[in-house]
Amino acid sequence: MARTPSRSQGNRATIHDQKLERGKGGELHQIAEGDSPVLTTAQGGPVSDDQNTLKIGPRGPALIEDFPFREKIFHFDHERIPERVVHARGYGAHGYFETYESLAKYTRADIFQRAGEKTPAFVRFSTVAGSKGSFDLARDVRGFAVKLYTREGNWDIVGNNIPVFFIQDAIRFPDLVHAVKEEPDRAFPQAQSAHDNFWDFISLTPESMHMIMWIMSDRAIPRSFRFMEGFGVHTFRFVNAKDESTFVKFHWKPKSGLQSVVWNEAVKINGADPDFHRRDLWQAIQSGDFPEWELRVQLFDQDFADSFDFDVLDATKIIPEEILEPIPVGRLVLDRMPDNFFAETEQVAFMTQNVPPGVDFSNDPLLQGRNFSYLDTQLKRLGSPNFTHIPINAPKCPFQNFQQDGHMAMRNPVGRVNYEPNSFGEGPRESPKRGFRSFAEAEEGQKVRLRAESFADHYSQARLFFNSQTPPEQRHIAMALTFELSKVETPVIRERMVSHLLNIDEGLAETVAEKLGLGELPEPADAAVAPRDDLEPSPALSIIENGPDRFAGRKVGVLVSPGADAALLKKLQTAIEKEGAVMEVVAPKVGGVEAADGSWIEGRHMIDGGPSVLFDAVALVLSEEGAERLTGEAAARDFVADAFAHCKFIAFTSGALPLLQKAGVDPEADEGLIALDDPRTIPGFIESCRKLRLWSREMAVKL
């Protein structure tokens, strides 16, 4: 398939024709390119193209001589000390990867040669935009980085919970992160994208539109690390013993199904427990409920890649699972927390260039830039080229080389010889047979700063994603866009974003425009390639369509009062635990309450510290007198009102009716409210909880 370079695909016209400056009154107006100061390097050299890295041909590998890119990334990598510039807030766990069957047909990577072999692993989950001190449930992409300690060295699959990214070329990464971070003159908002700088950048970057659909969806507010997918994002290569190449994309599928929260719930969780995701992972592993994912791979050859009208080297695109089904190749289990958070989770260093023989790179320009950047990042953040001496980063297989000295060196060559080749027969030697060999792909072309025409369609897959969502999920995207853009103070930015939305879905654009109070719709944004409207929806992209079939791993919060039915509570707990879920008691006082039979019911939370947003479903096991007392407490009323508003299933005893009524909840409102006086209704409640939410209630609540 011919790849025709197109200078317009770098979005040059879109960006430079819409440059803005702020007048004395604070208004923004366009300025011509000739009136702008020339962008230069730190050495003062004028920059001709700040949108594309230097490559061999428009689809070729990046060149190390690209000094403007090198300087830009170098400075960006060294901007922060000591926390990570991005992915600063993270949480990790140890575990193992178990291979299902040999993949020797596709790759010589040792990890895939023997069925049933277990490889040690460490996984770090993270938010991207916020600092170490930010909260867990920011609307954000989540890092999903896996370090596999293979027999042939460490393999890092450094991905996210979203399979695409905002940009196509790594040279734009510093600008993206600068835009989404707190605005530099005021140092806020923290861990939020709802501000002018971010949306100004995005509205001038059409290639981001697919990612925007994902980040405005519920994927950006997962219920738990345990209930989210992971992706390698880029296209990689498998290379077998015959040096034959197969393209591969990596997918981590949670065994417990997908689940997210709703935005109103996320805001309240951040207030009630800013460490919600950390606590959830800690408690699950400590209790023996080990999170598990299945690694699946999409395998394809060059002919298959060329059959698309988009480019598999474009990190803003996916291959829908309905077109190419991911093949299960192994499972990842997390079964142990770090002994020390700083020593392991904080000091762990992931690098996309850490691959074993048999795994290789494609010419994806974003991946090529990441390969260049990460080593530099570790040197700055961990302070020494010897960061691999830190136990969490050290290989678990034998290793040897002639590297020596440097800050905090823990290992040095022993003996006289510290170089190769040498005539003393000492030390390690390279191995053409066992060592890493890059796939010998033929490359030709001029040195250019271009993107291929095949990177130019910025809207079709954004439309595909939106059309693949269920009606509740589409509403949530519209609500998220409305909220975010309502925080943007510059009207032209809001209008520009609506013009992009018109290329994705007209109904979505109209809804957002109406909520923002735009008098009339703008013209659709110019599209380098007309969006396709013939792409079939992909159910695999919906969270609701890929939820669990059991309630296992979830949590029920039970609000109790003095005089509660202890026998009923015990039967409810037995049923919940049989399902593989957890029950936690919420009481007026943290110590608990005295039951009707005189026994004592221990409380895990007091009502002020155990709101319903912390649970996946709730039950009200109350005496009538106890419920009457609780009607005077705002926290108790909110416990019920929020659970109802967030479409959760609610079980209740007849004694709870006064509290239900005071909270404005009709006990006969819908099938999601289940009377609990008869223990025979408990199985029905558990079965309902497997659906996680009663989405039909959402339109009535109108959060």
Catalytic machinery residues: 87, 160
Number of separate helices (H) and strands (E) present in the chain: 20, 22
CA–centroid distance for 604 within its chain: 31
- Cβ distance 556 to 574 under 8 Å? no
- Residue whose C-alpha is closest to residue 179's, from 192, 161, 162: 192
Question: What separation, in Å, do the N-terminal and C-terminal C-alpha atoms of the chain show?
Answer: 49
Here the tokens at position 14 are 């879109």
- 496 Cβ contact list (under 8 Å, min separation 6): 18, 203, 204, 522, 525
CA distances (Å), 519 to each of 341, 491, 505, 522, in order?
A: 52, 12, 19, 9
| Backbone φ and ψ of 40, nearest 5° | -130, 170
Q: Is 612 helix (H, G, I), strand (E, B) or coil?
A: helix
Burial class of 133 by CB neighbour count within 10 A (0 to 12, 13 to 18, 19+): exposed
Residue carrying structure tokens 């596709």 = 106
d(CA 329, CA 290): 19
Residue carrying structure tokens 């309630």 = 551
Residue carrying structure tokens 């570790």 = 378
- 90 Cβ contact list (under 8 Å, min separation 6): 84, 124, 125, 126, 127, 143, 345, 346
d(CA 582, CA 554): 6
Here the tokens at position 184 are 């530099």
CA–centroid distance for 289 within its chain: 22
d(CA 74, CA 52): 16
Q: Which amino acid is at 622?
A: L
The β-bridge relationship of strands 292-300 and 245-254 is antiparallel
Exposure string of 283-313, with b = 16+ CB inside 10 Å and e = fewer, is: ebbeeebebbbbbbbbbbeeebbeeeebbbb
Q: Is 211 helix (H, G, I), strand (E, B) or coil?
A: helix
- Cβ distance 372 to 66 under 8 Å? no
d(CA 54, CA 63): 6
d(CA 121, CA 155): 10
Residue spans of alpha helices (H) in 427-469: 460-467
Residue spans of alpha helices (H) in 594-692: 624-630, 634-645, 657-662, 682-689
d(CA 274, CA 266): 10
- Residue whose C-alpha is closest to residue 220's, from 465, 469, 478, 480: 480
Residue carrying structure tokens 């919906």 = 542
Q: Which amino acid is at 336?
A: R
Exposure string of 347-363, with b = 16+ CB inside 10 Å and e = fewer, is: bbbbbbebbbbbbbbbb
Q: Which amino acid is at 323?
A: I
d(CA 462, CA 532): 10
HEC states along 100-147?
A: CCCCCCCCCCHHHCCCCCEEEEEEEEEECCCCCCCCCCCCCCEEEEEE
Put residue 243 in one of left, alpha, beta given phi > 0 → left and psi -120 to 50 → alpha. left
